Chain A
Amino acid sequence: MSVQTLPDDASRQFLAPYAELKPALPGADSDWLANLRDDGADAFRQRGFPGSKVEDWRYTSLAPLTKSAFDWREPEATLDAEQLPALVFGREASCRLVLVNGRLSRDLSAVAGLPDGATLMGFAEAADQSPDLLREALGGESVLADQPLAALNTAFMADGFVLHLADGVVLEQPVEILSVGTGGKQPPLYHPRNLIVAGADSRATVIEHHVGLCIGAYFANVVTEIVAGERSIVRHCKVQDESREAFHIAATNVHVGRDAMLDSFVFAVGGHLSRNEIRVKLAAPGAHCRLHGAYLMRGTQHCDNTTIIDHAAPETNSHELYKGVLDDEASGVFQGKIVVRPDSQKIDGHQMNRALLLSDKAQINSKPELMIYADDVKCSHGATAGELDDEALFYLRSRGVPEAQARRLLVEAFLNEAIDGIALAGMRMPLEQAVARWMSGAAR
């Protein structure tokens, strides 16, 4: 047993059903896909669940995961169409895929009004009908080498969404992916695999919305891969509102091409244990990314935001701002790595993480990490943690604003800077409402 990992039995337990499930997993006819799955299983077998000695996982323990008995069979779960409107986050999206426990529900999904050259389908559909779409973009080596949970996902990936945009295709409306966790007698486990391939000069906004329908546990082990072609603009807005007992471990891996732009926003309020890892490779000159995030946690929730930005080419920019609000005994983690490679000159990289602690027992671990090997580089980072400003609170109250409302105003004001960054106008309102709901303590 290696000290780098959790006990092997735990990892073995997760791989146990692999041989049995494999023949029924989508794309079983494609040799390359079958091989990729095997590689995923092998990589996970070798690495296992990362333990606290693994630098990337120092502040987030996966031990609780290995103690639960998950149901890896296909949980027969359905959702009534009437339940949808209450769950939908953004405005009425004309294009929406609904996944229930990781599986696409065609009945609940509606895909309309997509322009020619745009394809939106389930991962399983794509694996069976047009595997070539997947082949060019599905992450291989790096996923398997560095991301054990993504490797596990690679072995078992059964469904998810695939958005493919041909060169020059512009989506005027956002596409919404609603991923619903229903829970079950035994906590379900699923491995959604999502893919966004944006051709040259294309534009898309994708809302990836994870929501829990139950109060029970389940484990969503998500991988989303984004390839942003030359001069494309991809906006990825992720909302993590899983059940309060859920495990949500997600990796979003992005490849940003020449003069292309990734605009990422992550909003997290749910989950018992959640991690959102974003890896961005700014692969060619002019590539650009903006990572914004806001998280609100209470009770004993734990939320980990880990980002790794690789300035792999000269003249690439990154801008990062995360804001967290932590109450009760909640804990937050922010790890932000910025790598500037030796030949990457003329780099701009800025990173900031701010946390607001609403209770004495709430805590945040912030770890910025700059690895700069070039000299013509402008990089900055910062982290702050503080309490609600007593003076501001008193000032508001002395003007007649009741305490709860005054606190809400101050928390909203704190988050505004991060939320303001969202280019997607239609998202502002629902996000502000979600913040207000969180402040009033109402469980949805």
Chain B
Amino acid sequence: MTQKMLEIKDLHATVDGKEILKGLNLSIGAGEVHAIMGPNGSGKSTLSYVLAGRDGYEVTGGDVLYDGESLVDLVPEERAAKGLFLAFQYPVEIPGVTNMIFLKNAVNGVRKQRGEPELDAMEFLKFVRVKAKALSMTDDMLKRAVNVGFSGGEKKRNEILQMAVLEPRLAVLDETDSGLDIDALKVVADGVNALRGPERSMLVITHYQRLLDYIVPDHVHILAGGRIVRSGDKGLALELEERGYAEFVDQAAA
């Protein structure tokens, strides 16, 4: 049996003592793109935070294996160094830290943990500029404080820039499409697709079929009540578009 990149097994997790994930199973192979859809409050962002290792999101049962090894006891920066990336549903503003400084600390933080040499400042600047340009981001946005005063769409683009710069092996995108206008959606989708490759996997959380027209998933899952209640191919997203979540929510409650 080939080893999956990510294997989530019977995952139970609580937030502030409240159980949100209630036995979630999901496997993602190398190079695959999986989409997760599901009603508000079903636990999608909770799953993404649990994967990223956020404090306060406690795993109370089951396991998360990444390349066959458990992630559960690793701190967030260790997960990042292993190639995990989370594009936040609500990107965080950091007054006083410029985007450029942020990116540099991120890349060098990861490199250091991996025992790789830090990047030369000039080369890094050039490298980032190319990535930013591909996402139609201006130099000015690189000089500004992280996400401070950015529009909703700009924040999402900034997430994708960080992803492009960090080149993760497993990217979790939490509603990266929300708040994007149609042109920006294309830019972001192009950015994501540019990273697709046989060694890179993605977990795309979205409410809208539209994103999946651009980032075509290999598998689609429905998360409801803290579990995956149904999995299928991209056709499942279309089906949802027509019929809504009603029957799945019932199923989760049952």
Contact = CB atoms under 8 A, between A and B. Distances in A.
Nearest to A401: B109
A68 to B, nearest CB: 40
B102 A399 contact: yes
Interface stretch (A3-11, A57-65, A386-394): A386-394
Interface in A409-442: 409-410, 412-414, 416-417
Contacts, number: 80
Contacts of B54: 394, 398
B88 A413 contact: no
Interface residues of B, number: 32
Contacts of B166: 399-400
B92 A397 contact: no
Contacts of A394: 52, 54-55, 76, 92
Contacts of B119: none
Given A390-B55, A396-B102, A409-B101, A402 B94 contact: no
B88 A395 contact: yes
Contact of B81 (A396, A400, A409, A410): A400
B10 interface: no
Given A390-B55, A400-B110, A401-B109, A395 B94 contact: yes
A35 B15 CA distance: 72
Interface residues of A, number: 23
Contacts of B101: 409
22 contacts: A391-B92, A392-B92, A394-B52, A394-B92, A395-B88, A398-B53, A398-B76, A398-B77, A398-B85, A399-B80, A399-B102, A399-B109, A399-B166, A400-B77, A400-B166, A401-B109, A402-B112, A403-B77, A406-B77, A409-B97, A409-B105, A410-B97
Interface of A: 389-392, 394-403, 405-406, 409-410, 412-414, 416-417
Given A399-B106, A405-B105, 14 more contacts: A389-B94, A392-B93, A394-B54, A396-B94, A398-B54, A398-B80, A399-B110, A400-B77, A400-B110, A402-B109, A403-B77, A409-B105, A410-B97, A416-B96
Interface of B: 52-55, 75-77, 79-81, 85-86, 88, 91-97, 101-102, 105-107, 109-110, 112-113, 145, 162, 166
